[in-house]
Structure 1
Amino acid sequence: MTATGKPLLSCLRVSKHFGALAAVNDLSFDVAEGEVLGIGGPNGAGKTTLFDMISGLSPATSGEVLFDGRDITRLPPEAICHAGIARTFQLNASFESLSVRDNVRVAAYFGRDNRRFAGLSIGRQAESHAEEALAAVGLTGKDDAPAATLPVLDRKLLMLAGALATRPRLLLMDEPVGGLSPKETDHFMTVVTRIAASGITIILIEHVMRFLVQLSSRVLIMHHGERIYEGAPRGLISDRTVIDVYLGEGASQRLGKLMTEGR
């Protein structure tokens, strides 16, 4: 909850229709300040569409999205970013010809203020926020490298640094460790753990279940645009619906072993 006792984010009966298809159907949930909410589910469950609605890329057909009590349902993406919600994407998004540092500078400069006319310099404050973001993800020593030359892990960290440079209160991460090796996933998990410990609220979508359950304080599983589970990560391994439509028996058993060993 925020200082006023309200959830930081509330999705109230949100739906998104594409013609006759309901990609998200009458979904409601709250996210408390400082929480890490993990969202899982099969491909096509509506997870990324939900992020598109929250971040303004594709507004809800019906329902409301409230951020710190403010209705942001129909705001454009840049206004939502300026309000304090940042997002990373499944595919790496960067300015390939710019350096690592300049990519993060752009995010720091434009990500929290409405700048109709760009200035002649970035400014001390934006420079400071860029420095902090690079340090937070461990890219400080690679700041002069062109973004196009980075390996996959560093590209993902760069996208995360750009999001952090906007000084968000809420960070949305869409499949942040997709395509990473187990060792790289562990490294990324360490970075995200530090970010969560700093007080930034996080909602993450992920198919790598060990990443999802080890980071999340609460899990929401979607299927066909609807919630089929919401609760503690441990409850996933015994929920029959989740096992049948998503995890399967083998994955459920492996996940149970992982959570038992992680005690």
Structure 2
Amino acid sequence: MTAARPALLTCSGVSKHFGALAAVNNLSFELAEGEVLGIGGPNGAGKTTLFDVISGLNSATGGTVTFAGRDITELPPEAVCHLGIARTFQLNACFDSLSVRDNVRVAAYFGRENRRFSGLSVGAEVEAYASEALATVGLTGKDDRTAGALPVLDRKLLMLAGALATRPRLLLLDEPVGGLSPKETDQIMTVVRTIAASGVTIILIEHVMRFLVQLSTRVMIMHHGERIYEGSPRGLMLDRTVIDVYLGEGASQRLGKLMGERA
């Protein structure tokens, strides 16, 4: 499926093999600027591996990844980040011994350019980016807390703030609400909606399907490294292959009810 608007990101025949295992197998899709693409699928479907390829953490073994008209297939992760792609991870990655603000300062300082000779101070511009990112995720007032002492929700928000501080055009969110309560999930949902409304394009991976379908403008379901569905969130609940492979009848009915209440 091709996005209606000009593509910000294009994956063309992307594959990633680990020996004989095809974690991602000849996958092609386009993402228009301003979209929110939700990716779901069983464990081992290749979702996080796809993120690793897009973000440069693992090079593709086949195909090409193009961002804003530039081939980024072989670029290292720091170069991909500097071009405007940021990501979060399933595990809450941060510098545990640093404060909340210092974590975000690091991202803002190094996130858009190489720093051969780091200065003694980060500067007003970096402080402004850090403050804006903290405010967006709701961590203002927790600046001086040690990151390692934060509860799970705040650690997830901190990782998201660090990604935002790099000023991305494309944000990759890998299971942003995994392990959270329904109330905490709703809080993250509000933050992601705010980010999307600001113009940042988003791809999110999530097993919590109500989060996925309520936020996404388009959904892709993967299985064994391949796409088995791509289309509207509403159509997801009617697709027989998705129901049999991933959702099951019960989840499909619950999501159908949720989408009906949303209409």
The TM-score bracket by the shorter chain reads over 0.9
Q: Deviations over 1:198-221 (max 9, x none)?
A: 000000000000000000000000
5+ residue gaps in structure 2? none
* In 2, Cα distance between equivalents of 1:114 and 1:125: 16
Q: SS where residue 141 of structure 1 aligns?
A: coil
Return the alpha-carbon distance in structure 2 between the equivalents of residues 234 and 59 of structure 1: 34
Counterparts of 1:213 and 1:99 in 2: how far apart (Å)? Answer: 34
Counterpart CA distance in 2 for 1:197 and 1:147 is: 28
Offset, 1:135 = 0.4
Q: Which residue of 2 aligns with 1:11?
A: 11
CA displacement, residues 137-163 of structure 1 (integer Å, 9 cap, x when unaligned): 010111110001111100000000000
* C-alpha distance in structure 2 between counterparts of 1:12 and 1:98, whole Å: 40
User: What is the RMSD computed on CA atoms of the aligned residues?
Assistant: 0.6
How far apart in 2 are the matches of 1:120 and 1:222? 46
- The alignment partner of 2:237 has SS state of helix
Alignment of 1:176-215 (within 5 A): 176-215=176-215
The Cα shift of 1:6 comes to 3.2
Aligned length: 259
| 2:122 counterpart residue number | 122
Tell me if structure 2 keeps the 8 A contact 1:72–1:80: yes
Shift of 1:119: 1.0
What TM-score do you get using the length of structure 1 for normalisation?
0.98
The separation in 2 between residues aligned to 1:243 and 1:31, in whole angstroms, is: 25
Partner of 1:226: 226
Alpha carbons 1:217, 1:233 under 8 Å: kept: yes
SS state at 1:142 partner: coil
- What letter corresponds to residue 88 of structure 2 in structure 1? T
1:105-144 equivalent positions in 2, closer than 5 A: 105-144=105-144
**Structure 1 CA distance, aligned partners of 2:6 and 2:187?**
33
Secondary structure of residue in 1 paired with 2:42: coil
Residue 236 (1) aligns with residue 248 (2): no
1:99 aligns with 2:125: no
Secondary structure in 2 matching 1:190: helix
Rounded Cα–Cα distance in structure 2 between residues aligned with 1:143 and 1:130: 10
CA distance in 1, matches of 2:165, 2:188: 17
Runs of 4+ in 1 over 2 A off after TM superposition: none
User: Per-residue deviation at 1:171?
Assistant: 0.1
Q: Which amino acid aligns with 2:86?
A: A
Per-residue deviation, 1:12: 0.4
State the percentage of identical aligned residues: 81
**2:63 is aligned with what amino acid?**
G
Q: In the TM superposition, what is the alpha-carbon distance from 1:62 to its structure 2 partner?
A: 0.6
